[in-house]
Structure 1
Amino acid sequence: MTTQAKTTTVRFVTGRGHFAPGLRLRVPAHRASSATLAGAYPFLAAQALDTGVYVGTDALTGALFCFDPWTHYASGLLTNPNVLLAGVIGQGKSALAKSLAVRSIATGRRVYVPGDPKGEWAVVAEAVGGVVVRLGPGLTTRLNPLDAGTGDAAARHGLRLHLLAALAETTLRRDVRAVEHGALDAALTLAEATLDPTIPDVVDALIHPDERAAVADGTSARVRAEDGRDLAHGLRRLVRGDLAGMFDGPSTQVLDASAPMVVLDLSALGSDDDALTLAMTCASAWLEGALRAPGGGQRWIIYDEAWRVLRSVPLIRRMQAQWKLSRAYGIANLLVLHRLSDLDAVGNAGSQARMIAEGLLADCSTRVIYRQESDQLAATAAALGLGQTERDLLPALPRGTGLWKLANRSWVVHHRMHPEELTVFDTDAAMRDDARQQPLR
């Protein structure tokens, strides 16, 4: 596109603060592309975001770029506080997520990381005086996922029932059938006769149902036990299987709601995706008790390495409910992916699971995209509503620079970090020769 500069009238300001007619300047016509003239036409740049937590500098204007989902939601810039962060490995996504978390703590926010599969967030939590809960075979920490927090008995029962169904669906790799759901409900009701029910209590109630309750429901204890037989075997994995000792008794860790950061370190589980999914499902339920507590304040919930989480349909269903209630809870969810094709692991296009996962992306008003490979551009642009210019920019983004898209506005931002932050946030130090380190700036 080309354009031509025109003759213009300049108006000067008088000493009293009023405009007065000025001289007509006659400048020779000049024809150039809009890309060239953009440098002389400042209104082509998006308005500076200078409220919130400091992130870095605008690559186009050099202005400060700040971000805070609660502030921008209150101003009407965002329709929800949730954030998507995507980019290929090694471009600085994790450093940005950790930077946002730590700098937000300085403004009074708190941070929860409901699953850290690589153990990278523990050092961050320790640096800010937070709490690290380490879960894994042979470790002493145990969480009771049936700790349902506050609320009346009916509400706690419903939350526990949804959790148990999600765990069963994960271990059985199928949906819970209607008769199984009835057996699970009855077993949980029996287990809740104790003050603090646990998963072993529910498994025992599935194997040995209450006869009187079964008859009241128009069945028998024998039939009900048969209905819940597969559920008992599925949940048994958390009692006597590879996850034994982590979620099969009263909690040994009390969540400190005043802690600036709480990280659930799951690195001891290794690369077992099933174990990680079950652990994150249990741990997220434990954390949700704190989220529902009144007066908890505004909190980040950060899902790093989310491509592993999205493989579990029951877990993304739980995440969907949390996304929808983000404003009611006062939380901002941060979902960190490598690329949008990670959704292919959820299900085929048009499937219910895929639609739920895509709904999570749609419910993220803020999209931060770091460099993407050329073969990912079409899918990324379609999923995130990027324009042609934004799409063409993605494969050329340098390390530590991202395209920030909020509503209908976009910025290209250089993430800036202090050298002391680098020692805590930079996860690539082991891959570089110390003499040649090129940290993110």
Structure 2
Amino acid sequence: MARKVFTVTPPSLTRSERRQRAKETAALTSQKEETGQSQNALNLPPAAVPGMFGPGVRTGEYWNLMRLQQPHHQATSHHVAGIYPFIADRGLGHRGPILGVDLNADSLWHFSPWDLYTDTTSRAALSTNILVLGAYRSGKSGVLKMLTTRSIPFGHQVVVPSDSKGEWVAVCEATPGGKVIRVGGPNTTARINPLDGGPRRSNATDDEHLQMVHDRRHGTLRSIIELTLSGQPPLTPMEHASISWALDTAIDVTGDRPTLTAVSEQLENIDATSSLRAAKLFNEGERARYVLKRFIDGDLRGLFEHESTAKFDDEAPMVVVDTSELFQRGNLVAQLTQLCTSAWIQAVISDRAAKKTRYLIREEGWRDMSSVAALQTLQQWLKLSRHYGISNVLILHKFSDLDAVGKEGSEERALAYSIAADIENKFIFRVNQQEEDNLVKRLKLPPQHVLIARRLRSGTFIAYVGLYSYLVDAFVTSTQWEYELFKTDDAVEGAADIVANPVAELDFRTQYLDDLWPLDEPNLDQIWPSTVPVQGHKEKSA
């Protein structure tokens, strides 16, 4: 803010002295207009400031012998960022693996959801879950593979419950000790029982363990039936009662080792003539019987109807369930497969006493939201992520993927939107123009950030960690070997050439920043306004 000069004529001057002073002031003012020199550089007479000597003193009664001095403005970088948003900060610290380069601070960007959550000084992350959103060929999979594989030396495990495209298989096989479980392929007989009880929770009472297993089994069975009945009327209370009775009976008959086959047999063997209640259970279980027949005699036989033959290796650094063969049979089969494999994985890793931290990669995350029961299970699993040391990574190609969940205005779709929006940590890659409204309205992202997201190159993303955001380029920290291993198509081949030449890499990054924020931009606030908090600035001098 420019300082104003107050000119006051002292009453002790004579008339001639006042005329002379007026001439000098006019000459100095004329000199300022001709040379453009600032008022501070002119040798103007000292100014008397109204009220500067206390109350009751009238202007012009005293002469200020010292030039008015305005102190320098001092503030933390957290507040200065509102004026100059590109001020460099310390980022998220140096704990965890390097994921990329912070393009605003031009420094390495480290990320570990567990370290950020447990850091009591910063509390940067409010949870360990991550929402990943971006268009096709925006670099989502490549960046996530870099993050997870670089996290393995830090003691974290990587689990992919359903690899629908088979793209994680190569990464798992290249990881020493990695294990691939193939389901549905021509050369495998692996079976997965979605009703597995899982390991006993340490430090849990018998009642707590039984209740947790009971809730998971009933939720999984209802989700399987509701998903298969998609487009038909929802399950009635009597149908729920029939299904629950059949599952509880199967648990007793099999010695706490229920399977879909055992549940189907109980529904088939109800003696409808024994009592009125038995007749109602038999009649109301008709739709469930036909659904389960598909797993026993239909196109899903040999996969999920019997006890598990696949074994989860708790010590393997990476475990991938390859379901790519099944996903070629249609969308419904793909959804059922992902539901069953996810339920099995969740059952075998839900042991807090294992003291393990795991990335749970949910490819095609919208498939985990196929029904109200599935949504409620996912929501509960997200809430328990910190309890079990899990970082759920929910991957969406676009936010409108959730429009496939239920009908417009339905409970399912509203719950799906709510679950995705409530995930505090978000990686936003390049998005399509059609996504602008969803990102602003559903995810509450600043419109200016959405404009930037539309122009991002492959492998670059806006990371929202708790309350702050960062612009990160992950591909510039990779190597040629990583590019070849992690790429899912030829989208990164052009960027991979950068790694071989450091000078070319520097030119690439410089040109990239110029493309994002051109120097001739008429109004920088239109791209990233000062009112939007951009980075995690801490208390330090600017």
Q: Do the aligned partners of residues 421 and 396 (structure 1) sit closer, same or farther apart at CA in structure 2, a change above 3 Å counting?
A: same
**Do the aligned residues in 1 keep the contact of 2:483 with 2:496 (CA within 8 Å)?**
no
Residue 79 of structure 1 corresponds to which residue in structure 2? 126
Residue 117 of structure 1 corresponds to which residue in structure 2? 164
Greater displacement, 377-386 / 337-346 = 377-386
Distance (whole Å) between structure 2 residues aligned to residue 191 and residue 288 of structure 1: 21
Q: Do the aligned partners of residues 232 and 65 (structure 1) sit closer, same or farther apart at CA in structure 2, a change above 3 Å counting?
A: same
Distance (whole Å) between structure 2 residues aligned to residue 336 and residue 3 of structure 1: 51
Distance (whole Å) between structure 2 residues aligned to residue 374 and residue 188 of structure 1: 47
1:288-437 maps to which residues of 2 (within 5 A)?
Answer: 288-293=346-351, 294-348=353-407, 350-415=409-474, 416-429=477-490
Q: Does 1:52 align with 2:96?
A: yes
CA-to-partner distance for each residue in 1:235-267, whole Å, 9 max, x for gaps?
Answer: 111111111000111211111111111111110
CA-to-partner distance for each residue in 1:274-326, whole Å, 9 max, x for gaps?
Answer: 11111111111111122222315111111123244445554333212211211
Residue 113 of structure 2 corresponds to which residue in structure 1? 69
Secondary structure of the residue aligned to 1:396 is coil
**Do the aligned residues in 1 keep the contact of 2:226 with 2:371 (CA within 8 Å)?**
no
Q: Do the aligned partners of residues 156 and 312 (structure 1) sit closer, same or farther apart at CA in structure 2, a change above 3 Å counting?
A: closer
Residue 194 of structure 1 corresponds to which residue in structure 2? 254
Task: Quote the offset at 1:175 in angstroms.
Answer: 2.8
**Match for residue 215 of structure 2 among 151, 158, 166:** 158
TM-score (norm 2): 0.69
Larger Rg: 2
Distance (whole Å) between structure 2 residues aligned to residue 43 and residue 372 of structure 1: 23
**Do the aligned residues in 1 keep the contact of 2:271 with 2:279 (CA within 8 Å)?**
no
Aligned amino acid, residue 420 of structure 1? W
Distance (whole Å) between structure 2 residues aligned to residue 403 and residue 253 of structure 1: 38
Aligned amino acid, residue 417 of structure 2? E
Task: Quote the offset at 1:362 in angstroms.
Answer: 2.6
Q: Does 1:91 align with 2:138?
A: yes
CA-to-partner distance for each residue in 1:352-406, whole Å, 9 max, x for gaps?
Answer: 1122212222331111111112232222122222223312211221221111112
Aligned amino acid, residue 289 of structure 1? A
Residue 146 of structure 1 corresponds to which residue in structure 2? 195
Q: Does 1:134 align with 2:185?
A: no
Secondary structure of the residue aligned to 2:442 is helix
**Do the aligned residues in 2 keep the contact of 1:46 with 1:410 (CA within 8 Å)?**
no
Residue 243 of structure 1 corresponds to which residue in structure 2? 300
CA-to-partner distance for each residue in 1:56-109, whole Å, 9 max, x for gaps?
Answer: 111122111011111111121122111111111111100011111111111101
Residue 525 of structure 2 corresponds to which residue in structure 1? none
Which sections of structure 1, spanning at least 5 residues, go unmatched? 8-25, 27-36
CA-to-partner distance for each residue in 1:315-364, whole Å, 9 max, x for gaps?
Answer: 33321221121111111111111111212222455421122212222331
Query: Percent of aligned positions with the same letter in both sequences?
Result: 34
CA-to-partner distance for each residue in 1:130-174, whole Å, 9 max, x for gaps?
Answer: 111111165411111111113544443332222111111111224
Q: Do the aligned partners of residues 282 and 63 (structure 1) sit closer, same or farther apart at CA in structure 2, a change above 3 Å counting?
A: same
Q: Does 1:221 align with 2:278?
A: yes
Over aligned residues, Cα RMSD in angstroms? 2.9
**Match for residue 343 of structure 2 among 280, 285, 294:** 285
Greater displacement, 155-164 / 237-246 = 155-164
Q: Do the aligned partners of residues 158 and 85 (structure 1) sit closer, same or farther apart at CA in structure 2, a change above 3 Å counting?
A: closer
TM-score (norm 1): 0.84
**Do the aligned residues in 1 keep the contact of 2:368 with 2:378 (CA within 8 Å)?**
no
**Do the aligned residues in 2 keep the contact of 1:277 with 1:315 (CA within 8 Å)?**
no
Distance (whole Å) between structure 1 residues aligned to residue 127 and residue 39 of structure 2: 43
Distance (whole Å) between structure 1 residues aligned to residue 366 and residue 216 of structure 2: 25
Aligned amino acid, residue 84 of structure 1? L
Distance (whole Å) between structure 2 residues aligned to residue 324 and residue 154 of structure 1: 17
Secondary structure of the residue aligned to 1:384 is coil
Q: Do the aligned partners of residues 381 and 45 (structure 1) sit closer, same or farther apart at CA in structure 2, a change above 3 Å counting?
A: farther
Task: Quote the offset at 1:221 in angstroms.
Answer: 3.1
**Do the aligned residues in 2 keep the contact of 1:208 with 1:221 (CA within 8 Å)?**
no
Residue 325 of structure 2 corresponds to which residue in structure 1? 268
Distance (whole Å) between structure 1 residues aligned to residue 379 and residue 99 of structure 2: 28
Distance (whole Å) between structure 2 residues aligned to residue 440 and residue 244 of structure 1: 48
Which sections of structure 2, spanning at least 5 residues, go unmatched? 4-37, 41-68, 70-79, 201-208, 500-542
Aligned amino acid, residue 133 of structure 1? I
Secondary structure of the residue aligned to 1:267 is coil
Task: Quote the offset at 1:271 in angstroms.
Answer: 5.2
Distance (whole Å) between structure 1 residues aligned to residue 406 and residue 337 of structure 2: 22
Q: Do the aligned partners of residues 98 and 288 (structure 1) sit closer, same or farther apart at CA in structure 2, a change above 3 Å counting?
A: same
Q: Do the aligned partners of residues 84 and 312 (structure 1) sit closer, same or farther apart at CA in structure 2, a change above 3 Å counting?
A: same
Distance (whole Å) between structure 2 residues aligned to residue 439 and residue 238 of structure 1: 48
Aligned amino acid, residue 481 of structure 2? E
Q: Do the aligned partners of residues 155 and 333 (structure 1) sit closer, same or farther apart at CA in structure 2, a change above 3 Å counting?
A: closer
Distance (whole Å) between structure 2 residues aligned to residue 387 and residue 154 of structure 1: 43
Distance (whole Å) between structure 1 residues aligned to residue 86 and residue 184 of structure 2: 54
**Do the aligned residues in 2 keep the contact of 1:52 with 1:68 (CA within 8 Å)?**
yes
Q: Does 1:183 align with 2:226?
A: no
Task: Quote the offset at 1:439 in angstroms.
Answer: 5.6
**Do the aligned residues in 1 keep the contact of 2:161 with 2:338 (CA within 8 Å)?**
yes
